[in-house]
Structures are given as structure tokens and as C-alpha cells.
Amino acid sequence: LETLDDLPLKPKVEALFEVPRRDDVQPLPQAAKLRWLARDAEPACQHGELLMRALRDIDLQQEIVALGGFPSAVANGSEDALNQDEDAPLWDPATLDDSAPFYAWIAAETKVAMKLRRYLVNECGLPKQYVTSMGYWRLGKANG
């Protein structure tokens, strides 16, 4: 996000951060709309649940149509073919150039990252080449 502050033309960025506690919120440059989602505010929430709720609240229809996607992609037969082995690391980079008008970047616990990506591609209709998703760790497992 600090890099965005240095750009002469700042892109529109909305970043969602799910953290364990309100105390984990960090002061960051204002180059983006930041939404901090603290799980201790809703103790019954599962890991990633606040991220999914917040993502579902963002209206992406205009961006998806501009990229040639189809809202309600499942109904249009363009369901994501991410057949990810539950135990394999998730590292699925986008395949686009710098002129893309929209880009989704996901870094989260592996199962959460897969759910968020599938939501964007399958339910929202975002073409998968505009989504990078990375599962950096696995909940409940040491070393990933």
C-alpha cells in the first residue's frame, strides 16, 4: 500500500483485512479504502467469514461486465475450474497486463483464499485471469 502512495495516478483500491483482534489493526497510508475486520468483535465467526461477508457487500457488477465477465457466471456455464487439492498449497496468479481496469488479489488461509476466489469467479462472474489467489497457510497445520 505504501507503493500506491508514491504513484502519480493512484488507482482505486479497496482492501479487506481480517485480523484476530481489534488491537491488530495497523496504521497504513491512506492510498486505499481500508476495511479492518476484527474477529474478536464477533467471537462466533469462523476464520474467513468476515472477509466473505465484506466481499459480498462490494458491488462488482460494473467492473465484471467491463472485463467481459458475466454476472451469475454459474448460470452462464463459466464455472471456475479450480480443482485444488485440499492439501496442496494454493498459488494461482492472475494472467493480465498492467492496463487491466480491475484486479482482485487474495492472500489468506488456503481454504479461505479458495472460497473467496470461487465466489468471485463462480458467483460474480469475474474472469479468472483477473484474480490472483494465494493460500499462505493452513488453519490448524504447522508449516502451512
Q: What is the pLDDT of residues 48-96, one digit of tens each?
A: 999 999 999 999 998 898 888 887 645 444 455 555 555 556 778 888 7
Cβ proximity of 50 and 39 under 8 Å: yes
Q: What is the pTM of this model?
A: 0.81
HEC profile of 12-77:
CCEEEEEECCHHHCCCCCCCCEEEEEEHHHCCCCCCCHHHHHHHHCCCCHHHHHHCCCCCCHHHHC
Q: What is the pLDDT of residues 76-89, one digit of tens each?
A: 444 555 555 555 56
What is the longest distance spanned by two Cα atoms in the chain? 44
